[in-house]
Structure 1
């Protein structure tokens, strides 16, 4: 295969996804919430402890859901004494399990409702948010425009597309595919919103990346092949801690999916961000913790 054809594969996949994902599906999704609660999270009788006084809300990424994205991190946090919750957002009609595809500003409204639900159930004044990919970026809209800053102590983004993605420059080719940009915006709005330079991201980042009163942590990997360039994930602000995974463990080869799904080095850094007063050094040995 010619090199330029190989380079176009991710872009073709992006466009194909926008076409296929709108096909109605019949797979049942009722088991999703049950799977989470039976695994120790989304337990609405959980009461935060003195050691961990805030509930943790997990925000999945694009094409993910409230269970699959968190089969690694949710039990990790539950086992450390946290009350952990996860939501589904950005659903498209007739498309089960693959979420995070709707307009991101509307997804932020769903997060707003869910955080209020968690705070009411736990009796807590504030929550901590941990998100992967879109789930690490979308909450910033909630914080900035929907009053979330008053209800959130910390936002931890794992491979978040805070300034969008270029897919290694391939999104620059969209104008050369007639109708491609309209297809993305209509069929899968969240994909269009996440392209670097989109109207959504321009609004989100205007006037600064952060809002006062919230502690921000970004955990990125230099091997990220989805959110590119990877340094675009980092935030600028007075209360921001940007972390490159390979600075903690040079031999960690996790890419975009793995850093959120199963990387215990990243998980340890998440735990540090949630409880900075008891943080311990994150190293390659953190995989054993």
Structure 2
């Protein structure tokens, strides 16, 4: 629990102040493949809809019959989807995003209990379905936003409302936070009543490795055989660790490790949603085209492709 508390504070600071200063803004209409530009967008307009998202007049077509709902992790919609939302919109998708699970830390989302966040996500999905007239949505979630929908499926009857489910660096089976969690095990066991009281109200804490809340989550694709699952992970993940926690098993699952497609890609947990290779996998998963054939070039943690902004949108 304490390790997650440290992460919450760190992430809150990142949402308020851009690391390394404020990155230069990209030209209007240009898609940035850098996590830092998402942070800069948050700095300019806190919790604003990312480019291309939340056009409630968007109409579906034969090529894109389901709206795409984007779900952030311990962050918010502005930071997380600054890259993927405009790419999906440019491909003809109707894209929707929201910031759920907020609390005292303002724009920082996914703080609330898993069950509460799942209820908010379900309500947002209902709103999207009502506005678009669709019967199902496609979900793309990052980190906790990639795992929480299993509560929606298992406990809120959400399975029939989902067609494709893409999870990026989701801690399905819990996380050790690169070993930091073990440093606080003694603290948690010393005062178990306090630890339990805090964890009941703390969504990130509920994803700690070995948490009983993961049993309740039940991330088993077999419970929803009608959903096509795609997981995307990076071997350099520092938050959802070990990185295999983001993988699922089942006949309706496609597991993708970014470095299996490009060994020069050093993206970590946060850059993953802006990573050109990961973005191309999302596009392929939603189109049903199978694995993409993305270009391969160096991608740095947080910063993105070198030079920054040189990546071209995946075909």
TM range (shorter): 0.7 to 0.9
Q: Distance in 2 between matches of 1:15 and 1:265?
A: 31
Quote the offset at 1:65 in angstroms. 1.1
CA contact (8 A) 2:148 2:217 kept: no
Kept in 2: contact 1:210–1:237 (CA 8 A): no
C-alpha distance in 1, partners of 2:195/2:10?
A: 11
Deviations 1:229-267 (A, max 9, x none): 11121001120000000001110000000112x201100
Instruction: Please tell me whether the aligned partners of residues 18 and 184 of structure 1 are also in contact (alpha carbons under 8 angstroms).
Output: no
Query: Which deviates the most, 96-105 or 168-177?
Result: 168-177
Q: What is the TM-score normalised by the length of structure 2? A: 0.77
1:145 aligns with 2:134: no
The worse-fitting range, judged by mean Cα deviation, of 166-175 and 201-210 is 201-210
1:231 is aligned to 2:244:
yes
Distance 2:8 2:195 in 1: 7
Q: Distance in 1 between matches of 2:220 and 2:65?
A: 32
Alignment-derived partner of residue 16 in structure 2: none
Q: Does the aligned pair in 2 maintain the 1:174–1:181 contact within 8 Å?
A: no
Q: Which moved more, 1:181-190 or 1:235-244?
A: 181-190
Match of 2:232 among 195, 198, 219: 219
Contact 1:174 1:180 in 2 (8 A): no
Does the 8 A contact of 1:54 with 1:124 survive in 2?
yes
Aligned residue pairs total 269
1:182-221 to 2 correspondence within 5 Å? 182=194, 186=198, 189-205=202-218, 210-221=223-234
User: Could you tell me whether the CA contact under 8 Å between 2:221 and 2:229 is conserved in 1?
Assistant: no
CA-atom RMSD, angstroms?
2.9
* Alignment match, 1:284: 296
Taking the aligned partners of 1:201 and 1:129, their CA distance within structure 2 comes to 20
1:36 aligned to which of 25, 31, 49: 49
- Shift of the 278–168 alpha-carbon distance from structure 1 to 2, 3 Å rule, reads closer
Contact 2:73–2:142 under 8 Å retained in 1: yes
In 1, are the aligned partners of 2:220 and 2:249 still within 8 Å (CA)? no
| 1:113-170 CA distance string (max 9 Å, x none) | 0000000000001000000100111111111221111100011001111111012333
Please give the alpha-carbon distance, in whole angstroms, between the structure 2 residues aligned to 1:207 and 1:274.
20
Distance in 2 separating the partners of 1:181 and 1:230: 30
1:4-83 aligned at under 5 Å gives the runs: 14-16=4-6, 32=46, 35-36=48-49, 39-62=51-74, 64-83=75-94
Secondary structure at 1:58's aligned position in 2? strand
Structure 1: gaps spanning 5 or more residues: 1-10, 23-28
- Gaps of at least 5 residues in structure 2 are 13-42, 298-304, 306-310
Match of 1:89 among 100, 116, 129: 100
For residue 260 of structure 2, the aligned residue among 247, 255, 268 is: 247
Measure, in 1, the Cα distance between the counterparts of 2:165 and 2:286: 9
For residue 107 of structure 1, report the CA deviation from its aligned partner. 0.3
Q: Work out whether residues 167 and 228 of structure 1, in 8 Å CA contact, stay in contact via their aligned partners in 2.
A: yes
How far the C-alpha of 1:176 sits from its partner, in A, is 1.1
Residues 109 and 250 of structure 1: CA distance in aligned 2, closer, same or farther (over 3 Å): same
Alpha-carbon contact 1:159-1:218 (below 8 Å) kept: yes
